[in-house]
Structure 1
């Protein structure tokens, strides 16, 4: 069995970008997420779908907005360049490092040539009894 992501129309949308709902998902008239609850449904040609980020769902969520409430597209923040000249640190002499002791799992231990199991500290195989 092969497990794949589901194919959903919302996966094709990019975050914080308005799309015409009629172009993305045709259907019946829908309500604006920002309009009051008693407001009527709008035709899909006059609604915008915007995919927002969600803190716990990596797929985000999509809301429909009317022409009056469609959020502006957020531009990515521009990182300001440094105005002060960058100082170069003087090269430091590399401190000599002591060799690192091997981890207990990295130590090579004696193996039985017939059974291919680790031999006890006494040097005897626990399966076939041969002395190494």
Structure 2
């Protein structure tokens, strides 16, 4: 089962972009959030829906505005072009090669005498402590 947030008309509205309310959600005339409920409701073709960001709700919230109260939306600044980089191969070639000195491998010293283990003459696998081959069942004495 896939758990998703509820899908409604507000999900289709982009953040901080005015959209005509009639294009987003049809219905009866509505009020501008700034004008309040004391004024006459306006047709949805005269209202703008703006989805604002909210610090605690990732889905944001939508408000309806008339043309007179439509907030000015600040456009984000254009991204600054990053300076051109040199190709990786050239930068690696310019670097002097430094070779790390390796420490000699430590040889494991066993505290137990490692005696040769019994092998099955038919399968050539190591047999268990009971002397039975796990592959063919031959008993090795």
Give the TM-score range, shorter chain. Answer: 0.5 to 0.7
Deviation beyond 3 Å, 4+ runs, structure 1? 78-81
Question: Take 1:37 and 1:12, find their aligned partners in 2: how far apart are those partners?
Answer: 26
Calculate the TM-score normalised by the size of structure 1: 0.57
> The residue matched to 2:45 in structure 1 has which SS?
helix
Q: Which runs of 5+ in 1 are unaligned?
A: 82-95, 97-132
Change (3 A) 1:36 1:13: closer
Question: Take 1:25 and 1:8, find their aligned partners in 2: how far apart are those partners?
Answer: 10
Q: CA RMSD in A?
A: 3.3
Q: Which runs of 5+ in 2 are unaligned?
A: 82-99, 101-141
Q: How does 1:89-100 map to 2 (within 5 A)?
A: none
Could you give the per-residue CA deviations for residues 4-26 of structure 1, whole angstroms, max 9, x where no partner exists? 23211111111110000001000
Calculate the TM-score normalised by the size of structure 2: 0.53
> The residue matched to 1:45 in structure 2 has which SS?
coil
Change (3 A) 1:22 1:80: same
